[in-house]
Amino acid sequence: MNYLQLCTEYKRRAGLVLTRVRRLRNRTVHRALTYERSAPQLGMAANEVLDAAYEVLGLWLTPKQEVWQSMANARAYYYKQVDAWTKQKGNR
């Protein structure tokens, strides 16, 4: 597995965790549940995603920039890297 495939897989897994967190939140709120069996495990997974996001986002935050601008810069950099890796591997 190359670096691009690894990053894509991590992005996919993070997206799945976040989707599960949203669904758990909606189910809990709309059904007025006080406890969900999968909540502790899902909470730990969501914490790992959040921890990774803060670790990476810290590299992009600047004192005079809004957080959303820093995230947009990080996203643009990600797409630029994916494009460069894809071209380098001759996949295009």
pLDDT digits (tens, 9 = 90+) for 18-32: 888 888 888 777 777
Task: Tell me how far the alpha carbon of residue 69 is from its chain's centroid.
Answer: 17
CA distances from 27 to 19, 21, 85 (A): 12, 10, 40
pLDDT in tens, 68-90: 887 788 788 888 888 887 887 66
Does residue 45 contact residue 14 with C-beta atoms inside 8 Å? no
